[in-house]
Amino acid sequence: MQNPPKTLPELKAIVAERYSSLSKRLAQVAQYLLDNPDEIAFGTVAVISKDAGVHPSTLVRFANTFGYSGFSEMQGLFQQELLQDTPSYQERIRLAQQEMHDEGTVQEPHLLNQFVSANTKALEHLAQSVPLRDMERAIDILVNAKATYIVGVRRAFVVSTYFSYALQHIDRRAYLIDGVGGMYKEQASTMMAEDALIAISFYPYADETQNVVVSAIDKKVPLILITDSSLSPLASIAEVCFVVKEAEVHTFRSLSTLLCLAQSLAIGLAYRLENQQKN
């Protein structure tokens, strides 16, 4: 190796390329290097090697393998990268917009930026608008539920699958009512009063979801509702109701805040269960 990469992106590319042919320990370093560039920029050989779980000399060998005289030389790339003016997020948006203006052509700003902006705002709104009390009540219900059923269609189905995944992840009985084989009714029929139902429903409030909820209410199954309006037809019969305003970009509704809420509920539940176990 004679021509070591001169910039971090180049190095990363080459490391990724050669990764599969690296020995065990060198691969370990490669992994760490790609995942924790910041640590490498500031850390010492001793600290980094410990953190990456390899011997200090392995770092030097790694650097040598990629053509550097030693670890320090390679480390320089990581420092260099950090020094490159990383303009703040807002500034980048501003620059992008200005660039658009300058070019004269009416083109889209980087779509990702629009989404990030929109979702960030929506997330902040979420934190402000959801009462802590509702979170606690919802978690109460989930703690006491022998099983948790989840229903939601189309866009809401995405959130349903997350709930299903997350709850099973923390060893809760979760049943996703997905209507496979057109069996909404059948899947919902095993719900009992000591269970719980999480329903996610947005305008235009699909009948499938409504029907499942109604049959649950008949059986006195407590309902946690996640919806887009406090005037949603199910809002009044829900034990707990979360009203979530999603970000919207060019008429496309987002899901980030919903997922964020779902996660918070799942982890809140996990905590509660842990604490119960201790006592």
Partner DNA sequence: TAATTTATAGAATAAACGTTCTAAATTTAC
Partner DNA sequence: GTAAATTTAGAACGTTTATTCTATAAATTA
174 binds, among DNA, a second copy, none (CB under 5 to 8 A by kind): none
List of long-range contacts for 265-274, beta carbons under 8 Å, 24+ apart: 265/135, 265/138, 265/139, 265/142, 266/163, 266/166, 266/167, 266/169, 266/170, 268/135, 268/139, 269/139, 269/142, 269/143, 269/167, 269/170, 269/172, 270/170, 272/139, 272/143, 273/143, 273/170
Share in percent of the chain as helix, strand, coil (round to 5): 60, 10, 30
Site for DNA in 80-109 (CB under 7 A): none
Asked whether position 60 contacts DNA by CB under 7 A, the answer is: yes
Query: Quick one: which segment of 47-55, 75-83, 140-148, 212-220 binds a second copy (CB under 8 A)?
Result: 75-83
- What does DSSP say about strands 223-227 and 240-243: parallel, antiparallel, or unpaired? parallel
**Residues binding DNA: number (CB under 7 A):** 23
64 binds, among a second copy, DNA, none (CB under 5 to 8 A by kind): DNA
63 binds, among a second copy, DNA, none (CB under 5 to 8 A by kind): DNA
Q: Which residues contribute to the site for a second copy (CB under 8 A)? A: 12, 16-17, 19-20, 30-31, 34-35, 38, 42, 79, 82-83, 85-90, 92, 108, 110-116, 119-120, 123-124, 126-128, 130, 132, 135, 154-155, 157-158, 161-162, 165-166, 180, 229-231, 235-236, 249-250, 252, 254-256, 259-261, 263-264, 266-268, 270-271
